[in-house]
Structure 1
Amino acid sequence: MENDRVTPLFLLRTVLFPQGLLALRVFEPRYLDMISASLRHARDFGICLIRSGAEVRQGAVPAGVGTLARVVDWGGEAGVLHIQVEGQERFSIIDWEYQGQLAQAQIKCWPAEPILPLPREARDLLPILVELLGDAGVVRQLDASSAGMHLAQALPAPAEDKQRLLELQDPVERLRRIRTLLRGGAGQA
């Protein structure tokens, strides 16, 4: 995949992590068109947390780091498209602007995180991962980065905490902060 490119942005009040799944209801014409083009041309699009402003029109300002998304399932009803996306690579926004009603960004994709074993102190997270993924065999094969991304996606935490987890580049530190958040340390991500 190219490392530096222009991509449309889906601006939300939630965070998507690599390997994470996110269900979305799409009804705004600008996003219906974007998803249609994505499906037609097999192209990813960016999902970014709204840093400030409103979701509607051109009022939203994206966070500086997002995740590329790929549509993995879709269906619909009377003007509403139901999609499920899977997070791909993280990226930094180099520059962005609205083109019509849709935000477009020049992005730089991040390299994959190092493959590190799950640290001993994070083993207490294994039952949560088994519950999330439904397969103990799969969970035993997870590295620190994959485990952290799955946990962060499902974490019941404010979007700002999740954004800080997304922006971390140390998978072991991400797991440490997830453990802190699970113990009630809101704002500690």
Structure 2
Amino acid sequence: MITKIPPTLLRQAVYTLLLGLVACATPSKQAAAPASAVFTWQDELCDYQGHYRPQQVSARQLNDAVTLIYQFNSLADVRATDGVDKVRRVYEAHLQRLQQLTLPPSPELEKLRRQKAAQSRFFYDLALVEARALSAGDMRVLQQFAPARQVCTSQWQQLAAAPNSRDAWRQWHNCANHLQPGVQSEQSERDHQAVQRAFRAQLFNIKSECSEP
């Protein structure tokens, strides 16, 4: 005996089957192409625009990388004449900002962070010893700055002969200032190029618009 299926149940079965076929034919959301976003930045000469994938890197990471590469001045503008306390406060705030930068995962960018920290420490030590010398009214305190002891000897002799001379102090400072790590060397240029490649690896479809140097 053949059981007759009610028309209502038959229609429901056909509808369910059609829904299953549509679901199989529809691409899943996971298979969709990953979304991208636009990121813009600048260096000394050019304006850039590129695309990045938010699933891989964030806009904050890219912005912090730009800050580290192009804007972080390694404390070069700290002033000894501001006094010991202010020199120390400026350095501590500067170092905290450097450590809080959220960077894309990159050995090259982390190496640059360490180099910036070392340069900042150099400028801090230099400004601090000069601030102490000014506070004490005794330029012999400058001998505590170890990097300059064996290098800036002629400038030190001039300063020792005229301890209150601003010109002699300026000459000693210029000599000591040029001893900062990672300046004017082939290795520093190679490091810079490696950092640029590491940063650009986070982006694609990069376009630039540059002005004349």
| TM-score interval (norm. to shorter) | under 0.3
Please identify the structure whose Cα radius of gyration is greater.
Answer: 2
Greater share of residues in helix: 2
Greater share of residues in strand: 1
Larger relative contact order (CA 8 Å, sep ≥ 6): 2
TM-score, L = length of structure 2: 0.21
